Amino acid sequence: MTKAHEEVFRGTVSEAAAHFDAPRGEFTIVVEGAARPAPADSPPSGERVAEAMAAARASGLSRRDAAAQVAREMGVTRRAAYAASLDV
C-alpha cells in the first residue's frame, strides 16, 4: 500500500455501497467476468455443432456471430463452431 488511506475491498456492489458511506478520493473497480458453463460430461458431437451453426446462420447471423453464439451456448470453442460450419 502506497497511500495513507489506501484500502482493498472485495465484495458485491451492494456490499461496497454499504461499506463506503462517504467515499472520497480515487477508486479502482475490478469486475469479475461471467462464469463459464460447467463442462458437459462429453463435448457435443461435430454433427450437433454443425446443426446449431446451420440454424444460427438460417436465422440471419453472420458466420462469425453464429460461431460466437454456438460456442457460448454449447461450450465449444469459436474455432470449433466456425470449422463445423465449413464442413456443411
As averages over each run of 10 residues, the pLDDT of the chain (88 residues) reads: 73 85 80 72 82 93 92 90 81
What's the confidence (pLDDT) of residue 10? 86
Which residues are CB-neighbours of 68 under 8 A, at least 6 positions away?
78, 81
What's the confidence (pLDDT) of residue 13? 82
What's the confidence (pLDDT) of residue 12? 83
What's the confidence (pLDDT) of residue 70? 93
Distance CA(16)–CA(19), nearest Å, equals 5
CB-CB contact of 62 with 78 (8 Å):
no
What's the confidence (pLDDT) of residue 21? 81
